[in-house]
Amino acid sequence: MKKRTITLIAGPTASGKSDFALKLAQENEAVIVNADSMQVYSVLDIITARPSREDMALIPHYLYGYIAPDEHYSTGKWLKDAIAILENIELPLIFVGGTGLYFKALTEGLAEIPDIPDCIREKWRDKLKNEGSLTLYKMLETIDEPVARRLSDRDGQRIIRALEVYEATGKTLSYWQSRKTRPAFENENVEKLLLLPDRNVVYERIEKRFDKMVENGALNEARALDKLGLAPSMPAMKAIGIPEFIDVLKGRKTIQAAIEEAKTNTRRYAKRQMTWFRHQLGDDWKKVP
């Protein structure tokens, strides 16, 4: 029996991934699986550039818009959902998105770290804010020296991640990382594609796409999310455009200032994605300009 093909399509925001995946899915009678950490959330339809309803009607799409914005959705949870699709759908699958850690988890396995209680997360966020990353880094050196060696003393988010894991589980992050799961597919035909258009092309698309988002009601999405009263630290609240537009709703900035700030933040995010993909994905990923 011929093996099905699993296609992975990674790339920065506004690189044309969704259109590329749709065309490929139509040509190969495949289904599409989301690999973007923001497109999993309901409410965030426009602001995350989720595939349109028309496109989703053409080809089955999975793991889009199915998580409530008040949920802490992790890479581990996504991997479990993705593996369920791998096991229950026999058609060719196309995983598409810009979240590099999702692709790393699929292809290399993932450390199965237990969920961290919100109260512990908040405690370490407060410590980072009040004590600074250098103080917490010195603490981490005494608790989990292997992880500390890999981090900068300015990398506050990763430092508190290691500390909260230790407090919640009684075991170090390096311990959990040594107990990775197996890759999600070891006996499949896997095609790995990395979309890397010219940076200026990506930036131009970002400009036009964000203007279109505003026309289509992105501000209303921010308003709907704001009404839920979620903490700014929740992942869904960090989607580019949401903090900027909430500032508009609160009277802290003009709509034009928010749009320009969101465009700038999106360009910076795309640049970080391109750098990450180039350095973190292996040579077996075919680069597509």
DSSP assignment of 113-127? PPPPPHHHHHHHHHH
Averaged over 86-112, what is the pLDDT?
A: 94
Q: Cite the residue boundaries of each domain of the chain with CATH code 3.40.50.300.
A: 5-112+183-197+278-288
The pLDDT, as a whole number, for residue 198 is: 96
Annotated binding site for substrate: 13-18
What confidence category does residue 2 fall into, taking pLDDT thresholds of 50, 70 and 90? low
**Amino acid identity, position 140:** L
Annotated binding site: 11-18
Pair type for strands 286-288 and 31-34: unpaired
Q: Cite the residue boundaries of each domain of the chain with CATH code 1.10.20.140.
A: 118-177
193 pLDDT above the threshold of 60? yes
Q: Cite the residue boundaries of each domain of the chain with CATH code 1.10.287.890.
A: 199-271
pLDDT in tens, 233-261: 889 999 999 999 999 999 999 999 999 99
The pLDDT, as a whole number, for residue 95 is: 99
Of 285, 205, 210, nearest to 245 by C-alpha is 210
253 φ/ψ angles, rounded to the nearest 5 degrees:
-155, 165
**Amino acid identity, position 66:** Y
What are the tokens at 18? 């969704």
Tell me which CATH code domain 118-177 carries.
1.10.20.140
Evaluate whether the domain defined by 5-112+183-197+278-288 bears CATH number 3.40.50.300.
yes
Averaged over 214-237, what is the pLDDT?
A: 94
In which region does residue 14 sit, left (phi positive, over 0), alpha (psi from -120 to 50) or beta (all else)?
Answer: left
- Measured from the Cβ of residue 252, the count of other Cβ atoms closer than 10 Å reads 11
Alpha-carbon dihedral 24, 101, 48, 220, rounded to 10 degrees:
150
183 pLDDT above the threshold of 90? no
Of 282, 249, 195, nearest to 19 by C-alpha is 195
Alpha-carbon dihedral 173, 175, 176, 177, rounded to 10 degrees:
80
Of 255, 227, 275, nearest to 100 by C-alpha is 275
pTM, two decimals, is: 0.84
Annotated binding site for ATP: 11-18
- Domain 199-271 fold: Helix Hairpins (1.10.287)
**In angstroms, rounded to a whole number, what is the distance separating the alpha carbons of residues 265 and 275?**
15
What confidence category does residue 115 fall into, taking pLDDT thresholds of 50, 70 and 90? confident
125 pLDDT above the threshold of 80? yes
Averaged over 172-191, what is the pLDDT?
A: 87
